A and B are shown apart, each in its own frame.
Chain A
């Protein structure tokens, strides 16, 4: 068998998918804003240029994280976590209220949304805790670990709840649950958490923790009349715009509903409706497919990771991006509540873009470190032994798998 020589490198599929999403997202943002003189002040390319700046910064951040030694990542991780906690506190103290929640702080003319970074910080923090415990004496993830992880997640979650930012909280909850699951938390713990989540939500609805208008707003996607001038209007208009797209869409820059500005927040939270209307089922499905590709690669990187930190962090990022994308698109399609979460890589906005690009950088970093990125030749002996075992696996990841858990251990 010929040896295919590859440089140790980045995950190209992930890279290409992310770049495609960035291009597509930038075009959609441009399309959603080019005619909106009320936003752009008359310059049709104003948002295009701003988003290009965001993308560029995001790419730089990604490369920086990719290039950083993974030991440094682990050293810096607590700082990232603490910084985002500080940001969340700062937001509550002096933040700007946009759309009813206090989520932004103005720094030198830029609005920063710390909750976007908090999601990444929580993932890293939890992964770090698992890794530290794992690489210490403890091999099992028990109550202590779960408790510690919940504490790590709980502090920013509580701060986000105070804003209040229900959407981010939902995404964070799904992410935390995914991280706990992948980290190997005992099944009963997961069951307890799930049950606790259900009880908490019921209590929130029934126990008047949420004000009636908040409940109506949350449920407006099932019946727009519950909040006809707010979320109900948004969800209705989003559905009309998407439905108007049909199979092939009306063409980029030619969506009548998009042109006419019927969908509120269309360049940020409802950016998917632009894809729906202008690119149709085909284009929107491609967009969903690209996001799926990113998640798939993230989960693959998690599976291929040689250490607990990489595995848990990559899985956490996958859960985060996956659920956030589902939450956002589901909102545009009227099957999820209207909550303000951006569509990763696509929505206009700096904080969200930076956070997800940092996450992609981290994924690449993990990937680089795992054997998966090694040239094939290093894996040859393993492949041979595998071949002898009759399992045709061409992936070099086998090497790590062999190293991590021997067949003997399984028996």
Chain B
């Protein structure tokens, strides 16, 4: 073949090659732009458009008069964009993180940890510091070249205006960042009100009413360049603020209750305990004010408590450690609705109703002796006093233990002599159940304790769960086991499930293994006040939209009614009037205008094995229930009496022996049903006070 022809032939081959290469390019172009164009367009949008989330302003929580208990303030939040950070060189990154750490007073290690543990969207900047000083935020904003990949934004965070100095930590609860699980659940449920930057209510009403309070986030869609700089806005959806929660808490009453509780504890700590021969520890306490006719919570205080501000903007390790430290006394546990204590003598009115409903009555007279022998064991009256043959009214007023021992023994003999019969009737236990003990009250905060009624069923269950342990000790006593322990183990192993007369008489005076929460007791006393209606306590009264419209009224909810065929409640009601006049409360109520403010009360000093006694005072009138308790605090009236009196004085405007209802901390004395009004300018006006309160 001629060389030139060979050359030409090869030119043809080259042409074909070039043509096929170019055809390949066009085919590939078609594939990228048309066939898979959509996915690339999505990728393009996801990296060049950024949705800057705008967290909604959380709803306010206000008291009955419209005073904000929980509000918001703006704070600077500094975030780091991980995508942009990833584009920096290793050196630049560490320089940046060190510079940033210095600016926000953190360590580069902490920032790295925050970035590494972020569970939100990878395109979302990760918050590394909140509540940053304005000067720091502005420096970051103004020197983007020094802080590539760092964003400073304003964010709304919780503020606690603390009207009248109230704390309310255990009622309000707190917020913390959403968890991965919650975020996934929200995504699965198509709940757009939550996103990776959301904070979620964790306890108290912040958690219970979170979905109303949280609002709805908006976003701003902005075009950004490859370095994350904003090129322009592409549209936005405004965030919607959360609804306002109106509560029945009255800040002034709450303030009085908190102060009274605190003073009671302080005083107790300075008081000598003749039993243990040292001052009272008074390590915790609670004070509760309920509306007797509705079950709404007016005030609820718990000690020890903490400053809810520690949670704002993320709690530090040190703050968290302090909250959980032993010397802090577990401030996260609300003594009012989570603490469980033996009720002591405050239990006796309930027992009285139970006794009346099963054959005993106003004419019943029993011996209030100084001691009472049951099953080979001698039960003593408090300070071994003796009042002779008395009726229930007197027994309640002087809080006679031996009287109620006899009541308990009476029913045990009547129905339950067989200690192994778990189904034996027990009118007193039944009455306790009817008054709502042993189950949750249904208050609108999460984490409530249910207390327990130490009845036959409980005893059997307890024995079953513990017999293995004690029977082992019985068979092979460990070295050094005391004789008492060996005897106890032996008896428990054999007969631990037996419900004996001793158990029954102990139950009748609120001792033994029965536990109640202060809230349960307050609610039961409200039932005494209102003729037997058992309410689920409510803190929230209404949900009001940001524009002032009432979204939902939260009505009081009736959980049950206490059957009262023998009119026992009226009898008890009348009897408890005497406690303050001539009974155990009298020495703390001297000079109080009991003729105008008709306070029924019952004191209690519950004995706790190995500890000082728990001080209780439960009191009520037609409008309110006021209850206070202090653990390891001494006698009921001695420690809690002055506090309870102080609260009653505030509620009715009592000065000395004068009542000035206009001076009541709640205008109109009784909390109004009406809601505060929310004006369009953002101001909140208190509701009109009631013109007439119920006769107390």
Hey, which bits of chain A sit against chain B, CB under 8 A? 139-141, 178, 181-184, 229, 239-247, 256-257, 259-262, 276, 280-281, 284-285, 288, 291-292, 295-296, 299, 302-303, 311, 315, 318-319, 322-323, 325-326, 329-330, 333-335, 404-405, 409-410
* B482: chain A residues within 8 A (beta carbon): none
Alpha-carbon separation in the docked complex, A246 to B35 (Å): 9
Can you report 8 residue pairs joining A to B where beta carbons are below 8 Å apart?
A182-B14, A240-B40, A259-B225, A284-B29, A285-B26, A326-B21, A326-B22, A335-B28
* A257: chain B residues within 8 A (beta carbon): 44, 47-48
From the candidates B18, B34, B226, name the one contacting A260 in the complex (CB within 8 A).
Answer: B226
Alpha-carbon separation in the docked complex, A322 to B23 (Å): 12
Interface size on B, residues (CB 8 A): 44
Alpha-carbon separation in the docked complex, A7 to B33 (Å): 44
From the candidates A239, A246, A299, name the one contacting B18 in the complex (CB within 8 A).
Answer: A299
Closest beta carbon of chain A to B93's beta carbon, Å: 11
From the candidates A140, A302, A330, name the one contacting B25 in the complex (CB within 8 A).
Answer: A330
Q: Is the CB of A256 within 8 A of B48?
A: yes
Q: Is the CB of A299 within 8 A of B33?
A: no
Q: Is the CB of A243 within 8 A of B3?
A: no
Chain A residue nearest in CB terms to B41: A244
* B43: chain A residues within 8 A (beta carbon): 240, 243-244
Alpha-carbon separation in the docked complex, A404 to B40 (Å): 54
From the candidates A247, A303, A334, name the one contacting B33 in the complex (CB within 8 A).
Answer: A247
Any A CB within 8 A of the CB of B685: no
* B45: chain A residues within 8 A (beta carbon): 256
Q: Is the CB of B18 within 8 A of A243?
A: no
The 3 closest A-B pairs by CB, nearest first: A243-B40, A244-B44, A260-B225
* A245: chain B residues within 8 A (beta carbon): 33, 37
* B13: chain A residues within 8 A (beta carbon): 181
* B674: chain A residues within 8 A (beta carbon): none
Q: Is the CB of A243 within 8 A of B39?
A: yes
* A329: chain B residues within 8 A (beta carbon): 25
Any A CB within 8 A of the CB of B7: yes
Q: Other than the known A259-B223, A281-B30, what 18 A-B pairs have Cβ atoms closer than 8 Å?
A: A183-B7, A242-B29, A243-B33, A247-B34, A256-B45, A257-B44, A260-B223, A276-B29, A281-B34, A291-B22, A296-B15, A296-B18, A302-B11, A303-B8, A319-B14, A326-B21, A326-B25, A333-B28
* B14: chain A residues within 8 A (beta carbon): 178, 181-182, 299, 315, 318-319
Q: Is the CB of A262 within 8 A of B15?
A: no
Interface centre among B33, B87, B224 (most CB of A within 10 A): B33
Any A CB within 8 A of the CB of B231: yes
Closest beta carbon of chain A to B375's beta carbon, Å: 80
* B32: chain A residues within 8 A (beta carbon): 239, 242-243, 276, 333-334
* B3: chain A residues within 8 A (beta carbon): 139-141, 184
Any A CB within 8 A of the CB of B695: no
Alpha-carbon separation in the docked complex, A276 to B13 (Å): 29
Once A240-B44, A244-B41, A326-B22 are accepted as A-B contacts, the answer to whether A182 and B11 lie under 8 Å apart by CB is yes
Any A CB within 8 A of the CB of B19: yes
Any A CB within 8 A of the CB of B2: yes
From the candidates B7, B28, B48, B231, name the one contacting A184 in the complex (CB within 8 A).
Answer: B7
Alpha-carbon separation in the docked complex, A329 to B23 (Å): 12
* A178: chain B residues within 8 A (beta carbon): 14
Alpha-carbon separation in the docked complex, A323 to B18 (Å): 8
Any A CB within 8 A of the CB of B4: yes
Closest beta carbon of chain A to B269's beta carbon, Å: 64
Any A CB within 8 A of the CB of B10: yes
Once A242-B40, A276-B33 are accepted as A-B contacts, the answer to whether A333 and B25 lie under 8 Å apart by CB is yes
* A335: chain B residues within 8 A (beta carbon): 24, 28
Alpha-carbon separation in the docked complex, A240 to B5 (Å): 46
Any A CB within 8 A of the CB of B6: yes
* A409: chain B residues within 8 A (beta carbon): 2
* B24: chain A residues within 8 A (beta carbon): 326, 330, 335
Q: Is the CB of A239 within 8 A of B7?
A: no
Hey, which bits of chain B sit against chain A, CB under 8 A? 2-8, 10-11, 13-15, 18-19, 21-22, 24-26, 28-30, 32-34, 36-37, 39-41, 43-45, 47-49, 86-87, 223-227, 231
Q: Is the CB of B48 within 8 A of A318?
A: no
From the candidates B5, B36, B37, name the one contacting A405 in the complex (CB within 8 A).
Answer: B5
Q: Is the CB of A322 within 8 A of B7?
A: no
From the candidates A246, A281, A410, name the one contacting B2 in the complex (CB within 8 A).
Answer: A410
Chain B residue nearest in CB terms to A246: B37
Chain B residue nearest in CB terms to A302: B11
* B5: chain A residues within 8 A (beta carbon): 405, 410
Q: Is the CB of A288 within 8 A of B41?
A: no
From the candidates B19, B37, B48, B49, name the one contacting A243 in the complex (CB within 8 A).
Answer: B37
Alpha-carbon separation in the docked complex, A285 to B10 (Å): 27
Closest beta carbon of chain B to A195's beta carbon, Å: 18
Alpha-carbon separation in the docked complex, A404 to B39 (Å): 56
Closest beta carbon of chain A to B91's beta carbon, Å: 13
Q: Is the CB of A322 within 8 A of B33?
A: no
* B4: chain A residues within 8 A (beta carbon): 404-405
Alpha-carbon separation in the docked complex, A240 to B38 (Å): 10
Closest beta carbon of chain B to A170's beta carbon, Å: 13
From the candidates A244, A288, A322, A325, name the one contacting B29 in the complex (CB within 8 A).
Answer: A288
* A285: chain B residues within 8 A (beta carbon): 26, 29
* A281: chain B residues within 8 A (beta carbon): 29-30, 33-34
Once A242-B29, A244-B40 are accepted as A-B contacts, the answer to whether A292 and B22 lie under 8 Å apart by CB is yes
* A323: chain B residues within 8 A (beta carbon): 21
Alpha-carbon separation in the docked complex, A323 to B24 (Å): 13
Alpha-carbon separation in the docked complex, A245 to B40 (Å): 9
* B36: chain A residues within 8 A (beta carbon): 243
* B2: chain A residues within 8 A (beta carbon): 405, 409-410
Q: Is the CB of A256 within 8 A of B29?
A: no
Alpha-carbon separation in the docked complex, A139 to B39 (Å): 58
Alpha-carbon separation in the docked complex, A126 to B24 (Å): 29
Chain B residue nearest in CB terms to A180: B10
Closest beta carbon of chain B to A341's beta carbon, Å: 14
Closest beta carbon of chain B to A387's beta carbon, Å: 22
* A284: chain B residues within 8 A (beta carbon): 29, 33
Alpha-carbon separation in the docked complex, A260 to B84 (Å): 13
Chain B residue nearest in CB terms to A410: B2
Chain B residue nearest in CB terms to A248: B33
Alpha-carbon separation in the docked complex, A82 to B231 (Å): 50
Alpha-carbon separation in the docked complex, A169 to B44 (Å): 33
Q: Is the CB of A260 within 8 A of B224?
A: yes
Alpha-carbon separation in the docked complex, A280 to B21 (Å): 20
Alpha-carbon separation in the docked complex, A293 to B224 (Å): 39
Alpha-carbon separation in the docked complex, A299 to B14 (Å): 8
* A280: chain B residues within 8 A (beta carbon): 33
Alpha-carbon separation in the docked complex, A285 to B8 (Å): 28
Closest beta carbon of chain A to B685's beta carbon, Å: 51
From the candidates A140, A256, A330, A404, name the one contacting B44 in the complex (CB within 8 A).
Answer: A256
* A241: chain B residues within 8 A (beta carbon): 44
Chain B residue nearest in CB terms to A181: B10
* A247: chain B residues within 8 A (beta carbon): 33-34, 37
Closest beta carbon of chain B to A321's beta carbon, Å: 9
* B10: chain A residues within 8 A (beta carbon): 181-182, 184
* B19: chain A residues within 8 A (beta carbon): 292
* A184: chain B residues within 8 A (beta carbon): 3, 6-7, 10
Closest beta carbon of chain B to A13's beta carbon, Å: 15
Q: Is the CB of B26 within 8 A of A239?
A: no
Alpha-carbon separation in the docked complex, A377 to B10 (Å): 30
Q: Is the CB of B44 within 8 A of A243?
A: yes
* B226: chain A residues within 8 A (beta carbon): 260-262
* A243: chain B residues within 8 A (beta carbon): 32-33, 36-37, 39-41, 43-44
Closest beta carbon of chain A to B223's beta carbon, Å: 7
Closest beta carbon of chain B to A26's beta carbon, Å: 22
Chain A residue nearest in CB terms to B13: A181
Q: Is the CB of B33 within 8 A of A242?
A: yes
Chain B residue nearest in CB terms to A183: B7
Q: Is the CB of A333 within 8 A of B29?
A: yes
Q: Is the CB of B40 within 8 A of A239?
A: yes
